[in-house]
Structure 1
Amino acid sequence: MTGARRGPDGRFLNPDGSNGGKRLGEVLRLMFGGDGKRWPRRQRDAPQPPPAPPPTGHVAVTAIGHASFCIAFAGGPVLLTDPVWSKRASPFRFIGPRRARPPGQALAALPRPDAVLVSHNHYDHLDLATLRRLAAAGAPAVLTGLGNAALVRRSGLHDVTELDWWQTHMLPGGHRITYLPMRHGSARNLRDRCRALWGGFAVETAAGARLFFCGDTAWGPHLEQIGARLGPFDVALVPIGAYDPRWFMDSVHMDPEEALRAHRALHARTSIAMHFGVFKLTREAIGEPAERLAALRGDVDFRIPAFGETITLPFDTRD
C-alpha cells in the first residue's frame, strides 16, 4: 500500500484521486440554502458514571461525544481520540457550531492518556484549547497526519509524530498504531485546504486487540482495503451523522446506511456510532442519525452509545 498522493498544486488527494474537502462556492451554496431541522439549544442527557478499568481481555470505550472517545485496553494503552471539550468547533469563541450537549465525561474523570490520536485538522476534531488542557495535565504523545505537527505543538504538546497513510508507529509496550487513508479533506481557513493530511487509525495492542477509529470519511473502497488488510476488528468507531444534504456531504461523510456498509467492509465484530448529536454541522435533525441506524441495523452489533457511556467489550487474543 502506498502513502498519500498530492496534486500538481501540492495539495493532498483522496484515496480515489479526488480533491479533498469542499470549495468556497459549495460552502456558500450550503450556507444560503437554509439551516434544515432546528436543534435544541441545550440537550440534557442522564449522567453516566466515570469509566472503570476494563477486566482482563477487554477494552473500555467511553463516548465523550462527536469523535472524542477515551479507549482503555486491559494490559495496553489508554488512548484519547480527537479530543474536543470546547463549547464551539470554531476558530472563534462567539460564532460557529456550538455544542448542543456537554461532553459526556469531564476530562479530569478520565484516566491519563498514553497517547492522543488526532485524525485531521478540522475544528470539530482538532481543538487547541483542549490540547492545551492535556499539555498542562501531563503532555501525552500525539499521533496525527502529515502537516499537522506545527499546529498541534502550538498547544504546548511537543511529542508529536506525523504519519503518512499506511505508516505505523509503535507505542511503548509493543502496541502498533497505523494511520489510514480516508475520503475527506482538511482545512483551518480559506487558504490551507488539503495542505495537511487527514486519516483514521487502526490500533493493535500487544495483547492482540484490534480497534479501528475512523475520524471522518465518505464511503469508498478504501474501507474494504482496510478491512482486508488489517481486519477483522474487535471494535470499530464509525461516523453516522452530518450527512444532509447528500449533494454536498456524500463526498466527505457517510450516512447511517453507508455506516452499516462500512461495518461489514471492515469485518468489525462490534461497531460504535460516533459523529452525531453534538455539533450541528448539516441539516438533519439532532436525533435522526441514531434513529435511522436503529431502524436499519437489525441484528448487526452496531451500538449507539449514550453520551458519557462506557461500553466494555471483549477482544480476541490472536496467536
Structure 2
Amino acid sequence: MTSTLLHAVVGSPTAPSAQPSDVANKVHHNKNGKGFVNPWPSYVERTGMEMFRKMIWMRLSGKWVNPDTTPPTIPVHKPSFLPTRQTDKLRATWLGHACYYVEFPGGLRVLFDPVFTDRCSPYQWIGPKRYTDMPCEIEDLPFIDAVVISHNHYDHLSHPTLQKIAHKYKNVHFFVPLGNKPWFKHMGLDDTNVHELDWWEEKEITLSPADRGEGDQSDAGDVSAVIGCLPCQHTSARTAFDKAHTLWASWSVTSGGKKVWFGGDTGYRTVPELPKEEFDYGEKHADLPHCPAFKEIGDLRGPFDLGLIPIGAYDPRFIMSPMHANPYDSVNIFVDTKCKMALGIHWGTWVLTTEEVLEPPRVLKQALKWKGLEEEVFNTCDIGDSREFD
C-alpha cells in the first residue's frame, strides 16, 4: 500500500484558542528548581523512595497481589485502517494501552503515545511485559502525519518505536511537552520536525499534497489541524534522577470539523489510605480537592467530539491516585472536559498496578451509572478495534 506524501508547514494558529487569564504566570513551572510541578492541592507529592517503601510493605504483608494475566483477557484483533485519506467520519483505533490511531475527516492521521515493544522499559529483558499481543506493527499503518506524546514515561515514550516511525514516515511531525525535544537529539533522532509546547500553547499544521500514491483517489486540497498542549495531573521521569524535569500534558487535536481530547496519563484527586471496602467518593470524602484543570479545559477548549481518557493502573488507590485516574475519576474528567463521547485508555496491556486486568471496564460501567450517564457515551473496545463517530 502506498501513501500520499504531504509537505507540512507548522506555525502559530491563525485564530488562537482561548486561554486562562493567568496563563502568563506559568504556575506549573518549578520556581525553586528545575522542571515542573502540579500546582493544585489535588496533587500530593510522593517521592520514589516513599512509594517503594509502601509497595515493599504491602508485598511483605500480603496486601500486594499481582493480577492474573492468564489468557483469555482482552481480545486482540488485527486492525483495519482506511486505505485512503477519504472519510467523512472520525475514526479511532485502539492499539493497546494509551496508543490510539485517529483518522480525521479531511485526511489527517494522528498517532497518540505509540509504544510498539514487548516491554515498557529501557531494556527489553526486564520490566513490565505485555500480557496482550501487539495488534499490528508500525509498518502496517498507512499514513502518520503527527505523533503526539503525553510525557516521557516508558509506557508512553518508546525510543525503538519512534526510530521506526521516523525511518518509515519521513514527513511525520512530533508534538511533545516542554523539555522533551533534546531527548530526540540525544537518542539519535532528527529533531527537525519536533515541536515542544507548554500548557495552553498550540500549533497549526498544514499538509499539502506533494505526490499522491496509487490507491489514494482523494481530490482534497490542503489538510489543516490545530494541535494544543493542555494540562493534566501527572509527572515525568526516564531515570531515578530526572523526575519532573520535563513536562507532562494532555492534548487536543482539531481537524476536519472534529475535535479530540487525549488525556494521556493523569490523576484527578489524591485519596488517603482507606479500608478497601470504603468508597472514596462517598460523603465522608466529598471535600477531597480535585484537579480544576479539566473543567478549565472544557470551558475554554471544549466541547470535544471524542475523549481518549485513562481508566486503568489505579490500585493501590492511596499510592496511585495523585497520578492515575480510576474509572470514577475518569467519568468526572469526561464531564469536566465536555467530551460528547469517550473511549478508555491506559489499561489492557502491561501490569503496572494491582487491580484485576478486566476490572477497569467493569468499574467504568458502575461509575457511569453512579454519575447518571448512559454506558454508550464512554466505552471501551477490544485491542485493534475501531470506532466511528459522526
Q: Same fold (TM over 0.5)?
A: yes
The unaligned stretches of length 5 or more in structure 1 are: 315-319
Report the 3-state secondary structure (helix = DSSP H, G, I; strand = E; otherwise coil) of the residue aligned with 1:86.
coil
1:12/1:20 contact within 8 Å kept: no
- Map Cα deviations across residues 125-175 of structure 1 (whole Å, 9 max, x no partner): 000010111111123110001110121332524211110000001111331
Identity %: 31
Q: What residue in structure 1 maps to residue 182 of structure 2?
A: 150
CA distance in 2, matches of 1:30, 1:61: 38
Q: Are 2:336 and 1:265 equivalent residues in the alignment?
A: yes
Distance 1:177 1:46, change over 3 A: closer
Whether the 8 Å CA contact 1:118–1:126 is kept in 2: the answer is yes
For the residues of structure 1 that align with 2:78 and 2:298, how far apart are their CA atoms?
Answer: 32
Query: Any idea what SS the aligned residue of 1:264 has?
Result: helix
Q: Match of 1:10?
A: 34
| 8 Å CA contact 1:20, 1:184 repeated in 2 | no
Q: 1:99 to 1:30 in 2, by over 3 A?
A: farther
**Which amino acid is the alignment partner of residue 185 of structure 1?**
T
Task: Decide whether the 8 Å contact of 1:104 with 1:309 is kept in 2.
Answer: no
For each residue in 1:164-206, what CA deviation from the matched residue of structure 2 results, as whole angstroms up to 9, or x when unmatched?
000001111331011011110000111101000000101111x
2:315 to 223, 244, 265: 244
> Who is 1:284 aligned against?
355
Instruction: Measure, in 2, the Cα distance between the counterparts of 1:44 and 1:239.
Output: 16
Alignment counterpart, residue 161 of structure 1, candidates 176, 195, 199: 195
Partner of 2:75: 45
Q: Considering only CA atoms, is the larger Rg found in Structure 1 or Structure 2?
A: 2
Mapped to 2, the partners of 1:19 and 1:215 lie a distance apart of: 17
In terms of mean alpha carbon deviation, does 2-11 or 299-308 score higher? 2-11
After TM superposition, give the deviation of residue 291 of structure 1 in Å. Answer: 1.1
Describe how 1:1-319 pairs up with structure 2 within 5 A: 1=20, 2=23, 3=26, 4-16=28-40, 22-32=46-56, 33-34=58-59, 35-40=64-69, 43=73, 45-52=75-82, 56-139=87-170, 140-153=172-185, 154=187, 156-158=189-191, 159-172=193-206, 173-205=223-255, 207-219=256-268, 220-298=291-369, 299-300=374-375, 301-314=377-390
CA contact (8 A) 2:74 2:358 kept: no
| Whole-angstrom distance in 2 between the partners of 1:240 and 1:297 | 12
**Bigger shift: 2-11 or 108-117?**
2-11
Asked if the contact 1:166–1:179 (Cα under 8 Å) also holds between the matched residues in 2, the reply is yes
Q: How far did 1:21 drift?
A: 6.5
* Kept after mapping to 1: 8 A contact 2:74/2:348: no
Which amino acid is 2:267 matched to?
A
Provide the rounded CA distance (Å) in 2 between the counterparts of 1:229 and 1:217: 19
Shifted more, 87-96 versus 295-304: the winner is: 295-304
1:44 Cα deviation after fit: 6.4
- Mean Cα displacement is larger for which, 219-228 or 92-101? 92-101
Contact 1:212 1:233 in 2 (8 A): yes
Q: 1:129, 1:155 within 8 Å by CA — same for their partners in 2?
A: no
Deviates more, 1:16-25 or 1:218-227: 16-25
**Which runs of no fewer than 5 residues in structure 2 stay unpaired?**
1-19, 207-222, 269-290
By how many angstroms is 1:49 displaced?
Answer: 3.9
Once the two structures are superposed, residues 227-285 of structure 1 have per-residue CA deviations (whole angstroms, 9 ceiling, x without a partner) of: 00111100000000010111111110110011011111111110000001111111111
Shift of 1:294: 2.5
Inter-CA distance 44–295: structure 2 relative to 1 (3 Å threshold): closer
Whole-angstrom CA distance in 2 between matches of 1:87 and 1:161: 27
- Give the 3 Å change call, closer, same or farther, for CA 284–155 of structure 1 in structure 2: farther
After superposition, the Cα gap between the structure-2 partners of 1:181 and 1:260, relative to the gap in structure 1 and judged at 3 Å, is: same
The number of aligned residues is 313
Moved more, 131-140 or 18-27: 18-27
Whole-angstrom CA distance in 1 between matches of 2:98 and 2:231: 17
TM-score (norm 2): 0.76
